[in-house]
Structure 1
Amino acid sequence: MSLDKPPPPPAAPPNPWAERIPKTGQPLIASSTWPHRLLHVKSMTSYVKENHNIYNKEKEPVYNVLSYTWGRYQDETETPLLIHGITWPVPSIKRDYFSAAAFKKAIELAAKGFRRCCDWVWVDIGCIPQDHAGETAEDANIRAQEIGRQVEIFGRAIESFVWLSSLKTTDLVKNQGRLITLDDLLVYLNHPVRSSEAAECLLSNLHKDTQVFVQSMRMFLQHPWMSSLWTLQEMVLRPESWILFDDGLLSLGFDENGVEKFWSLQRVKHDTVCLRQILTGREPFNNIIVPGFDIKEEYVQNIWECLKDLSALQVYKGLDALSIRFPHTAYSLAQNRSVMKPIDRIYGIVQTYGISCKAKPPGDDDISRLHSLEDDFGIKLVAKAPALSQLFIHSTGPEYPRRSWLITQKCKVGDHFWTSFTSEWENENLFKTLEICEQAGDQKVLCLRFVGHGWELDEITQYPIFQPSKPGSPEKYRGLMLDNHISKSVLGSVVDYFDNENKMRQAVRQLYDCYCHERTGKSNEIRVALLASSCRSDLPVVHYVALVLAPSLMSEKKSSNIRWGKNGMTCGSGLWIKDEPISVVWERIGLMRWTEMYHEPNLKPHYNLPTPQNFECFIY
């Protein structure tokens, strides 16, 4: 047998972009605003800011922020917390959820901080006007303004605290003396065993600690803070928040430098990601399940099922939400959270985009007012971040969405590929125009006007753009992605990612059979409309995303009714469309994404694809 070492792998090809200076995009929200009010904790007085950043004669005071939930636990018979200097009543809360004294203590603990003690705290009931009878229009407008500024308010705070009212640290620790964490379970999985007896003992202890770990995590996940929509956006805004109990922070012991560690959202979110990675395969048990060892398989199965159920609950509760730089994940997860009023499904999350919506949306009932707010949000998002407004997949099931271009909470966006289109990367819009157009007549019709370039769908899918996803790594996928109601109605089942290229091309043929059968001209086309690109400036790899558009199956009916009245249609650019029918009504049916590698410095974009053609349409 030869003992020669295998030859080294071939060297990577030279990077033709290595000398380029890295660039990043503009963040969705610029942190330049100070809160309208801050609470001075020692005096329990709320002060309105003077000029830009002065509170009670103190300029730019450092402050901490406290997140908690209370809306579902109001009780007018209880004594409220006393706060001076405000023009609204502080809500009274059921005593078994938290008392005024417990609330004040939590505020004081938040002010005390962990790394920095502050005299000031931002807390909603002391800093945002609360809705009440006799409220002034000014207070209502300030409330809408401050809700839209949550990103800046939370981002400017020195430290953030999440208060799990009515819970004590001992409730999670119980008889263990300390909190059992995922790290404790990993110690078992990384511990080699050399006999059946050792494997049996290790599995028994692992099974016991898994039960304790899951029980503690479920207690945390089932707290009302984890079911409120308003706190979801706060969890995304400050993912490193310290978790505060009625009796203070929960210690995790000391690090190698003797510094005490405490439980935080960052630790919980990190464990969520690690657990999901562990569950992508059963390799972690390989050191225990050794051929020849006589062990109880039910131990392994029970541990596995417990951890799988916990991981699913963690995802459902939003602990794997992406960062604030890609706020669609929080918007999507909002459908799993509780609200007092349907319109709060918009008000409670749009601040992650730095957008403020109408304070009083039109409508005769809750649903019509919610739809009005969804439209208002969608219009403002297209104007602020047009490409971002389309980076989603509809998950409405068999029901068609009201507007194919409009993102709603029923969307799929948890794929980490989309983080490439955040401000950390260099992004470029590849369309000429992407704007909202609105009918000027009595009947409100909103559509998205696209002007740019694109290909025929059956043309571009003949080229090597496909790449399958991998288990646990959907971000690896490249190719056609259909909105769920489209794949359900056309293909017969929901398909998020095609398993192979042949299945994708077969789906393309089915789409043409459905949308273009017995049609001519533009209504016989399915288009891939270039939307945006993303890259690291000094790496020769560029990601692309495009809209997939088809002539609507309702084209004839819709176009015969859409003539825009005497005044025509107005668009975001101020362009007026003449009073004439539109021959083809287009609808969005999904997205196409692919990646191009540039091995030479002067290669043009899409060098391996046919030349894109000019394309213009209205999307409904």
Structure 2
Amino acid sequence: MESPRIFTTEMFFQNQDEKLWPRRLLHIPSMTSVEREGEHTYMGIAKPEYNILSYTWGRYEVPDGLALHFKNVDWKIPSIDPSRFTVEDFQRTLLAVSRDTPFIWLDVACIDQKNYAIKMDEIGRQAGIFYNAKDAFIWLHGSSALRLREMFDRFFLLVARLDGEAVEEIMFDEHTTITNNWEPDDGDSDIFVGENSFLPHCIRDRDWVTAMHTCLSELISDVWFSSLWTLQEASLRPDAWFLSKDGSIVPRQGYAEVALMNLVHGMGAIERYLSKALYMNKPESDDSLDEVLPSLKVLESIVEQVGLGGWENPSTLYGSARFRTCIDPLDRIYGIMQIFGLRLGAASDPSRSYTLDDLEHQLATSINEVSPMMGQLFVHTEPVSFGKCWRISQNSRIRTALRSESLMTLNLSKICLDEDERPVFAGSACHFRKIAQQWTIAEEGNEGWQYWGVDGAIHLIALDENEFWYSRIPEHLRRIETENFALNQSLSELLSEVAGDELEVLRLGQLLDPEDEDGESPTTPGSVGILARRVILHGETFWQRLGVCVWAMDEGRQGAGDIWRTVEYGLA
């Protein structure tokens, strides 16, 4: 049996060489694009230190105009609309990026823009290129250093209020500064949600919500936050430092400079509390959130579009990618595949042509082969064609209760393609009615798992939107975001009634508590399965995915383990 392990994107690199050095590096003192000699030598220097720059320019290329000149390149360096950034701005930034090393990696100078095979090969090496860089920088060329500092300071001040740590300095006069501290939120001032969860008081403060909405909207107005390629670059180097329009590092109040990870942590905190406020149970007598709920939903949509979180789950990442801008639709895959160490489509075989559907199929196949748990922890928010239900899509998302950035997983199944290139699930399965009965018994015995922050949570059913969902499931049971046993029990009973023996649960594996240090024999594992319906098409039997379910109960209880049998099912 596979050993439990924290799921990270590094799992995708296990059989690959992470030491993929770039084909070229830019030598700043001579402005020369230097070709690699051997595996990692440039200008006679083996494994030189180099820095790397993440920025966006593709949308602002103009046919004529000034452009930087690089030696030893035979492709055209793009001219950029000077209203976005000038040659002088670019030069100052490159000097800042190379502050402690003569070498940097820069896409326009280091990727052959006219040779498609070479270009795609280098795109398939982005993880190694970013991995090997000494320092990484993000150029927000749409804003000055002063404006960025003001925005970041305001953002971090607002985030700090979530933990009751905010400090505001008010200038009383030119000689006097007053420090205003917000009191930490505690049990007397928090809004309780569920039994073990709470919300900080500021989450229902309309002024705080409005201020955060304004701050985030202003901050992410920079084009870097809307580029698809920068989504991948951000996930590969979350330690990158922000640079302003003039190439200077952005300072932060009380700190030397602002790193991307600071922003990621702040966005994560906002996302967690928004999830609690919007989707978890609250006492019926507490209507304090109702007034700000519409504003919180708008704020949630902004956080989702930014996508600076959930990098350890492919479904969340691909879902965020749909909000990003790209020139070629295929970049929806090419622009994120290296986060998972994958070389798909033309990056693996440039002699063929590919459609977005081809690339989605390759992405889903690769992810499921590495971890069927992560390959299936999603729901479709729009109907997909029969035969593609098992694959993630741009409209996939992950339920709030399962958006942990570090899930310890234990895979108990496999999902691979057979000789006819069709997906096959190999593992254990049981009739839905039988496991639904076990969930009821577990609830009566007060079993459960506090992983979701709610005592007594037994199971969670997350359904895909499809024809079954529309025709068989009433509105109030379609999107159960909470770990509410009563609603899930009602849905279980309905599914048992309308689907009968056609419905089974295909067990993927277990979610374990990341705080369980040994991870060898957890006492309260959470199990994950595919909810699948038997469909006979042209005389063949397939199992159409209808969603996923997660449950927590004592697997050693009498009868709980007897319901499973070993199967091999073709997925649809």
TM-score, scaled to structure 1:
0.71
Q: Return closer, same or farther for 1:250/1:227 CA change in 2, 3 Å cut-off.
A: same
Question: 1:497/1:213 Cα in 2 relative to 1: closer, same or farther (>3 Å)?
Answer: closer
Cα distance between partner residues in 2 of 1:378 and 1:307 = 32
Give the alignment partner of residue 463 of structure 2, picking from 459, 467, 482: 482
- Residue deviations 1:148-167 (CA, integer Å, cap 9, x gap): 22222222222211111132
Tell me the secondary structure at the aligned position of residue 232 of structure 1. Answer: helix
How much is the aligned-residue C-alpha RMSD, in angstroms?
3.9
Q: Kindly state the Cα deviation for residue 190 of structure 1 after the two structures are TM-superposed.
A: 4.9
Residue 492 of structure 1 corresponds to which residue in structure 2?
A: 474
Code of the residue aligned with 1:316 in structure 2: it is Q
* Other-structure match for 1:531: 508
Please tell me the residue identity of whatever aligns with 2:12: L
Specify the alignment match of 1:405 in structure 2.
390
The answer to whether the 8 A contact 1:39-1:123 is kept is: yes
Q: 1:384 to 1:500 in 2, by over 3 A?
A: closer
2:256 pairs with 254, 261, 264, which one? 261
Q: Is the 8 A contact 1:172 1:216 kept in 2?
A: no
Letter paired with 2:270: L
Say whether 1:120 aligns with 2:103.
yes
Give the secondary-structure state (helix, strand or coil) at the position aligned to 2:77. coil
Deviations 1:399-436 (A, max 9, x none): 556611111121112646365876xx4x44322x5211
Count of aligned pairs between the two proteins: 500
When residues 154 and 270 of structure 1 are mapped into structure 2, their CA distance, relative to the original with a 3 A threshold, is same
Are 2:156 and 1:182 aligned? yes
Partner of 1:455: 430
Distance 2:451 2:526 in 1: 18
Question: Do 2:449 and 2:526's aligned partners in 1 also have CA atoms closer than 8 Å?
Answer: no
- 1:333 aligns to 2:320 (yes or no): yes
* Amino acid aligned to 1:275: I
The AA in structure 2 aligned to 1:559 is: H
| Cross-structure match for 2:283 | none
CA distance in 1, matches of 2:359, 2:290: 47
Shift in Å at residue 592 of structure 1? 2.1
Counterpart contact for 2:429–2:566, Cα < 8 Å: yes
Counterparts of 2:125 and 2:401, CA distance in 1: 26
Could you say which residue in structure 2 is the equivalent of 1:161?
A: 137
Identify which range, 261-270 or 381-390, moves more after superposition: 381-390
The answer on whether the counterparts of 2:314 and 2:375 sit within 8 Å (CA) in structure 1 is no
Which residue pairs with 2:128 in the alignment? 152
- Where do 5+ consecutive residues of structure 2 fail to align? 169-179, 185-201, 279-288
**Does the Cα contact within 8 Å between 1:387 and 1:531 map onto a contact in 2?**
yes
User: CA–CA distance in 2 between the matches of 1:458 and 1:209?
Assistant: 47
Q: Provide the secondary structure at the position in 1 that maps to 2:506.
A: strand
Whether 1:45 aligns to 2:32 is: yes
Shift of 1:384: 4.2
Residue 430 (str. 1) matches residue 412 (str. 2): yes
2:304 aligns with 315
Match of 1:191 among 182, 187, 199: 182
Deviation at 1:534, TM superposition (A): 4.5
- Structure 1 CA distance, aligned partners of 2:47 and 2:58? 30
Contact 1:39 1:47 (8 Å CA) reproduced? yes
Does the Cα contact within 8 Å between 2:504 and 2:531 map onto a contact in 1? Answer: yes
Correspondence list, 1:588-599, <5 A:
588-595=545-552
Is the CA contact 1:559–1:585 (under 8 Å) kept in the aligned structure 2?
A: no
Q: Contact 1:236–1:322 at 8 Å: present in 2 too?
A: no
Q: Is the 8 A contact 2:5 2:410 kept in 1?
A: no
Contact residue 432 and residue 496 of structure 2 kept, 8 A: no
Match of 1:614 among 560, 566, 569: 566
Q: How has the CA–CA distance of structure 1 residues 70 and 271 changed in structure 2, closer, same or farther, with 3 Å as cutoff?
A: same
Name the residue aligned to 2:194.
none
C-alpha separation between the residues in 1 aligned to 2:410 and 2:229? 32
The offset of 1:243, in angstroms, is 1.1
- 1:484 positional shift: 2.8
Q: CA, structure 1 residues 104+380, in 2 after alignment: closer, same or farther (shift >3 Å)?
A: same
- Look up the match of 2:251: 251
Letter in 2 for 1:99: T
Shift in CA distance, 546/163, structure 1 to aligned 2, threshold 3 Å: same
- After superposition, the C-alpha distances for 1:512-558 in whole angstroms (9 at most, x for unaligned) are 45445xxxxxxx33211121234456142433222221113xx3xx3
User: Any conservation in 1 of the 2:149–2:251 contact (CA below 8 Å)?
Assistant: no
What SS is found at the alignment partner of 2:33?
strand
> Secondary structure at the residue paired with 1:404?
coil
Identity %: 25
Partner in structure 1 of residue 146 of structure 2? 170
In 1, Cα distance between equivalents of 2:348 and 2:357: 9
Gapped runs of 5+ residues in structure 1?
1-20, 194-202, 255-259, 283-299, 440-445, 517-523, 561-581, 599-603
CA separation of 1:489 and 1:147: change in aligned 2, threshold 3 A: farther
Task: Indicate if the aligned counterparts of 2:379 and 2:396 stay in contact, CA closer than 8 A.
Answer: yes
In 2, Cα distance between the equivalents of 1:419 and 1:549? 24
TM-score by length of 2: 0.76
